[in-house]
Structure 1
Amino acid sequence: MPDTNKSTKTPGLTLPARPARVSVAFLPFNLVLKMLSLLRPLLLSGAGPLWPRFAELNTNRPIFGDRDGELYYDVHQVSFERRQGYAWYTERPAPTLERYQRWRAAFNDAAK
C-alpha cells in the first residue's frame, strides 16, 4: 500500500498528502431505492382526513395496483416507482362533504 502521508511532487505542482483515513462508500442505486422504500410516511397531528383513490366495493378497504397487475392492500407493497409517481390518497372529498353538511343543516332547519 502506498504511503499516503507523503506529498506528491510533479514539476511545477505540489499536491498535499491525502489524509489516510478518508474513504468514500458508494451504494448501488437499486439499494438506495430499496432503503428509501422502507421509509413510511409520517402522520402529522391535526392533518385532515385522506381518502384512497380506489377501494373495494364490498369492504371499502383501500386497494393499490402495480404494473404487474396485482392488487395490494398496503401501499408499501407497491413498487417504489409507482408509489412516487401517483397520488394514491386524496383530500378532494373534504370540501364536498363540508358543503353537504351545510346543505343538510339548512334542509333540516327548513323542514321544521
Structure 2
Amino acid sequence: MEFTTYELAEFTNIRSTYAKTMYRLLKQWRTIGKKEFKIDDFKFLLNCPKSYSISDIDKRILKPIIKELAPYFKKLKVKKIKKNTRGNPVTGYLFTWKPEQTQHWIENNTA
C-alpha cells in the first residue's frame, strides 16, 4: 500500500493558493518525476478564471508555482504542450522534476 505524505512545514510555507494546489497534485507523483495536465484539467484543478489567457496563466499561475515549489521539487520545470496546428494552441502543461528516492515497501513490517 502506497500513500502520499505532505510535509506540513513545507505546505504552510507556501503562500500562493495555486502553488498549494499544485504542491498537493505533484506530491502524488513525487517518485515519478513528471506529471502532465491537459489544459482543461489544469484550469479546472486550479480553479483558474475563465477570462485568463495563456499569458495570464504564465504570469499569474505558473511563475508563482515555479518560484514557490522549486525548493520542494528539485529541478522543477514546466513545459507547454502545443498542438502542431494553425496558431500552435497550448493543449497542456508538463511538469518535470528530479524524482524523490524512496525505500522499498516491506510487507508486514512492524518497525
Per the normalisation by structure 1, the TM-score is 0.19
Bigger radius of gyration among the two: 1
Per the normalisation by structure 2, the TM-score is 0.19
Greater relative contact order (Cα < 8 A, sep 6+): 2
